[in-house]
């Protein structure tokens, strides 16, 4: 119900930003890898998620109540900067975007790491930012099951992710499913990656690129 109201309450321009491709999905699904592939294929700049140079992220995983609010504001601000820059460029591929930032804030609020008051401040700020934006041209949602996501998270070895309980990853997957069941901002391409090795399998990579190209043709890219 929350995500239905989220899209209903959002005030955003009816027109879309030509050439803006957003890739979203749970942690560990492979957004960065596939984003790099698409950016090279289309000759577009790839906007990576602000994770590696994030001064709060590792602290957050060890003290969520202390760092949840400043971390969410950090992410929100960076995503707003990125989407504005992307619009100036006229085209890009984005690893996550401001449109789905609310998923993580909502979960933190429900877990008690964000207070109701903090979430309301965050939500108001998000809606105010979205009023100044247009819709993306295409949203790509990468689906996966929890076991595969956890396996990839473990293999990439970020220390702060290893301490997260399975319950969190399961809840994240449920929230993503609910979010995209209600998503109505733009065309969506849903790809389940559980049985795909797009990075290392040439046939899978070719299929992925051609599938995206075909979808973009239908959206008048």
**Non-local CB neighbours of 56 within 8 Å, separated by 6+ positions:** 67, 70, 71, 74
95 is known as an active-site residue: yes
Query: Burial code of 107-142, b = ≥16 C-beta within 10 A, e = fewer?
Result: bbbeeebbeeebbeebbeebeebbeebbbbbbbbbb
Q: Which of 53, 58, 63, 95 is catalytic?
A: 95
Tokens 């239905």 sit at which residue?
4
Active site residues: 95
């Amino acid at each position: 119900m929350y995500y239905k109201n989220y899209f209903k309450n959002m005030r955003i321009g009816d027109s879309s930003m030509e050439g803006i491709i957003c890739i979203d999905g749970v942690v560990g699904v492979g957004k960065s890898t596939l984003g790099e592939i698409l950016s090279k294929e289309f000759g577009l700049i790839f906007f990576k998620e602000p994770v590696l140079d994030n001064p709060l992220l590792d602290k957050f995983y060890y003290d969520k109540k202390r760092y949840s609010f400043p971390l969410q504001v950090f992410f929100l601000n960076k995503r707003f900067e990125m989407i504005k820059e992307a619009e100036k460029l006229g085209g890009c591929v984005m690893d996550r975007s401001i449109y789905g930032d609310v998923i993580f804030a909502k979960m933190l609020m429900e877990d008690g790491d964000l207070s109701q008051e903090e979430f309301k401040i965050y939500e108001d700020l998000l809606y105010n930012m979205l009023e100044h934006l247009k819709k993306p041209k295409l949203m790509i949602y990468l689906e996966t099951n929890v076991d595969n996501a956890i396996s990839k998270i473990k293999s990439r070895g970020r220390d702060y992710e290893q301490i997260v309980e399975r319950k969190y990853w399961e809840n994240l997957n449920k929230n993503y499913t609910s979010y995209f069941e209600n998503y109505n901002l733009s065309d969506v391409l849903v790809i389940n990656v559980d049985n795909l090795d797009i990075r290392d399998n040439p046939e899978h990579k070719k299929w992925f690129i051609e599938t995206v190209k075909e979808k973009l043709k239908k959206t008048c890219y």
